[in-house]
Chain A
Amino acid sequence: MEKRYSLKLFYMLIPAFLLLILFTYIPIFRGSVMAFQYYNMFNLTNVHFNGFENFKAIIFDKNFKFWKILLNTAIWVFVSLLFQFTLGFILALLMRKPFKGRGLYSALVFYPWAVSGFAIGLVWSWMFNGQFGIVNDLLRRIGLISQNIGFLSDPKFAMISVIIANIWYGVPFFAIMLLAALQSIPQELYEAAEIDGATGFQKLFKITIPYIKPTIISTTLLRTMWIMNFPDIIYAMTRGGPANSTNILATHLINKVYQFYDYGQGAALGLMIMGILFIYALFYLKISASKEVTL
């Protein structure tokens, strides 16, 4: 009986596992091999191993300076993350106590989580339009600028613009997750602190933040990985331009594959991203030295 039960459960796992082996594990293995091959769709008869040539070609690329792409990636990830987290946390704190219409309110402020990053990128590129964009118009109306800014065509402003769109897109995620964590804090803790005469700030830093620390660590870590792998908004708004000012590793990879059909270099970039994320995750977990992180 017991054995038959276990066997039945095992059968139930097969469909999910088969899909993952066929369409994730085998391709990731093949992709890792490809990174060390010359593999161009325009020249498929000449696929061969070339050692670290792909990596070298990426790092010493004259048209796409590698250090610049790394710097862009770091700015894109950390500035987005910092503001997504801070704004999401403030929103979660404000929504913590029930108020009239909270259900409707949360549907209206959380909806960006559910919509397409690519479509949202296009919406923002219309908003940032240099001639007819609403952002330019609003800034002029309140007198902050006297002349329209080409937000997406000027290398000085392009990165800020795509990051603003990304922050807008990511705030609901943090608000949703942190709100759920906040609601799990036992009310008695605050009551006890109030008896001891704690101020609002003390309660925030001595009770709230320590209590939800595991959620903070796991969400920020996973979100970092996710933002780094998320080129949709940039792809929609600038495709990495102008003059590479918004080119990050992920958009660079996409352009290699979709524009230059260089699968070998694309795969090499994929491995680099994976390596960076892996080291980052180890480092991050070590620093935050938290064993209670629940994935």
Chain B
Amino acid sequence: MKVLKIFVLGIYLIAAILPFYWVLVTSLKGPKEIYTFPIKYFPSKVTFESYRQLFSFANFGIYFRNSLLVSLSAALGAMVISILAGYALSRHRNKRFKNGILLAFYFTQMIPPFILMTPLFTMLSKFQMIDKLSTLFILYVTMVIAFSSIMSKSFFDNIPISLEEAAYIDGCNTMQVLFKIVFPLSLPGMAAIFSFSFVNIWNELFLAVMFIMSDEKRTIPVALNSFISKAGISWDIMSAGLVVALLPTMIVFAFAQKYIVSGLTKGAVKG
């Protein structure tokens, strides 16, 4: 029984790792070796040629910078806004008001994102907001804000209000209570919201394709999308690009796994 369990867990492990292993190996092979038989499961000579090409000819450094800039800033923005909203939702005493707002947040989670895209495009083009990274920033904060707020509310629900009441009695004002008592206690929640938002924003494709036109403003998913041409895909450069696209969120997940998992289960579902 125990052997069977280890065996099955091993199969899951191999299945989970294989795709990433394969794309990593491809990216480290020389372009010739990728297209030769028999297929090698390990590069005969490790070369970083595809990465060199990716960053020199394909301008991937700029796309990486754009993705990092937008993801970090939007995740940070979403974290701040959702902490405010989550705190208010958790502490507000009017039940009907609270439930109404929560419902309005939940409803946005059911909307297919694509129905929003074209109206957003026509709306934002009226205000000359097309082809700007700042527009992506705003849209991405909006994209994750409802779920983040719900998540943050459930974190605050677990912090007893009596702590704050005691601080008020001791003469603290609202700001002091928030910064000295509430926020330090909600650090794990903030980590969860930040990493959850970062992952979702880093991975977003369709909004970025729609709203970004200039080459120098592309994010990584848009750049990968543009690598797919009618002539086919050159898999050496594509593989290197995929590794660069996948690694950051894998690292974030490895470090923040504990927080993400508790955040996911508290907020119920990934949007």
A interface residues, Cβ below 8 angstroms from B:
5-6, 8-10, 12-13, 15-17, 19-20, 22-28, 30-32, 34, 39, 90-91, 94-95, 103, 105-120, 122-124, 126-127, 129, 131-132, 134, 137, 168, 171-173, 176-177, 180-181, 218-219, 222-223, 225-226, 228-229, 232, 235, 250, 253-254, 257-258, 263, 266-267, 270-271, 273-274, 277-278, 281, 294-295
Contacts and interface: CB of A to CB of B under 8 A. Distances in A.
B91 interface: yes
Given A28-B111, A118-B205, A20 B268 contact: no
Nearest to A169: B19
* Listed residue (A9, A30, A113) with the most chain B CB atoms within 10 angstroms of its CB: A9
Contacts of B88: 9-10, 12-13
B115 interface: yes
A177 B265 contact: yes
Interface stretch (B45-53, B55-63, B136-144, B183-191): B136-144
A107 B209 contact: no
Contacts of A131: 35
Nearest to A176: B261
B66 interface: no
Contacts of B8: 90, 94
Nearest to A167: B15
Given A110-B253, A123-B20, A226 B270 contact: yes
Contact of A126 (B94, B108, B142, B235): B235
The size class of the interface chain B forms with chain A is 35 or more
Contact of A20 (B26, B120, B145): B145
Given A126-B238, A176-B264, A254-B206, A113 B253 contact: yes
Given A19-B141, A123-B242, A277 B118 contact: no
Contacts of B18: 134
B250 to A, nearest CB: 5
Given A119-B242, A126-B235, A295 B268 contact: yes
A127 B94 contact: no
A244 to B, nearest CB: 19
Interface in B253-270: 253-254, 257, 260-262, 264-265, 268-270
A25 B103 CA distance: 13
A30 B85 contact: no
Contacts of B199: 114
A23 B253 contact: no
A156 to B, nearest CB: 22
A132 B39 CA distance: 7
Nearest to B120: A27
Contacts of B34: 132
A168 B112 CA distance: 23
* Listed residue (B89, B106, B114, B249) with the most chain A CB atoms within 10 angstroms of its CB: B114
A271 B112 CA distance: 9
A258 to B, nearest CB: 7
Nearest to B15: A168
